[in-house]
Structure 1
Amino acid sequence: MSCDAIGSRLTARDIGWGPNAAHTLIEKVSFSLDAGDRLAIVGPNGAGKTTLLRCLYRGLVPTTGSVYVDDEDIHALPARKVAQKIGVVLQEMPADFPFTVKDVVLMGRIPWRVGLAGWTDADRQQADHALEHLNLQHLSSRTFSTLSGGEKQRVLIARALAQQPQIIILDEPTNHLDIRHQLEIVDLLSSLKLTVIATLHDINLAADFATKAALMQDGRMSAFGPARTVFTEDRLSGTFGVKVRKRPEVTSGFTFSLAAS
């Protein structure tokens, strides 16, 4: 499978998680994505977005509910099999990674390695394909720690693509990036044919990126559906506690101001 592969379906059914029975961070979260959907999950800090992502990629075992990829429960599958299906780009970025860009991208091939065998020609081909897909060939010999924030983010996405997943999950992929690099990352994610799930703070970027959108508030998914029906003035105002106005002069775009006290 190449970087141009088509994504898989993902279904979450009544997902809940908390550190103990008296403290739940998310509860009763259900939604379904078709292959190739791009889901933007938005909501205020503490709404449960990152916890939900961790349940979706098996970083956490839900205390209630199940997650299915093409009708297979990911928690009933071996971890290696899940890693072949789902690629992840986390918000935390390594500050000092003593490897070259090519080395980092090749790490995406670990779920496909057999025993202690070294990298195969197929591994190197997939890594090269991912580097080319993200226009990173000229940086392949650079040390990861010497790159800019935007370059590092692209390398980590290339690593996830080299993994040959059907689904890629990203936690705040535009965090700490300048406007140019934010737009580049969103354009890149929009060009992928995989199923993409991302948490995003910027509503306008999310509206441009998403085919589906979800609003998270107080650990629950308060709205889910096509982005144009989820991102409304009333819903966004209620979720974030601010005044939200649609900009009529553009296809998508909102302005925000503090609500009157």
Structure 2
Amino acid sequence: MSSYIVHSGWWCDESRKHIGTKYNSSDDRLRTPQFFNVWYENILAVSRPEKIIVVDSASPVRPELVGKTVEFVSLPRNFGHGMVCQGRYGGWTRAFALGAYYAFLADADYSVFVEQDCLLVGDGIIERAIENLGQRGISYGATSPVRIEQSFVVIRRDFIPRFLGRFLGMPDSDRDLFTEVKFQRIQKRDRALSYAGLARNEFVPLPFGYGRNRPIGFDDVHFYAQQWTTDELHNLHRRTGLPFLSALLGEPNV
């Protein structure tokens, strides 16, 4: 059986709001320690990771880790959201890259990034993504308005250094070029080289939705999503019955 390490980032301050809530109707509770409980129990409910690592952006508010098997690594300071980041890389890039390199150096077969507000639905969803990946290098969503979606990313071990070298090596800062666009440029270049017979296209889209794409098909065998609205969280609770989600929403356990 393939081994994989699930990794994520963490940021929460006293406002408990994400910059993205200015542009969408996601529930404010997504960026709270209580939602981390939901995220953690969700990972354990649908997958069997070798380890879980969370990279914290020096957050003033941390999740409760007692009783959880999590490697919690804190950066020395908050480098900020990509749109307003300090330095070349924002917090998302630093958390994503550190977690993927951790999986590589731990000799895991795959790194599996699951963003802190992203939940996976359906037992074996990660295994299905790995099977769909086959001998290709990387898989993520391809259905968002910017054509790609990064809340759930699977990378095969031998492709991790090559992909991160290209991703981190781009001259543009995260302020000047969204990380989604950076992924997209790598993907387009690989596709062009494959058409010319000069290289293999290493990208394959995830075999299910949705990420930020809507509407969500709650009856799908497998799906994933982030930026959940309150109504969507209630629909998810009816589907999964996760105890910590019950507590978050104030609903009885299913």
Q: Larger RCO: Structure 1 or Structure 2 (Cα < 8 Å, ≥ 6 residues apart)?
A: 1
If each structure's strand is expressed as a fraction of its own residues, which one has the higher value? 1
Higher-Rg member (1/2): 1
What TM-score results when the alignment is normalised by the length of structure 1?
0.30
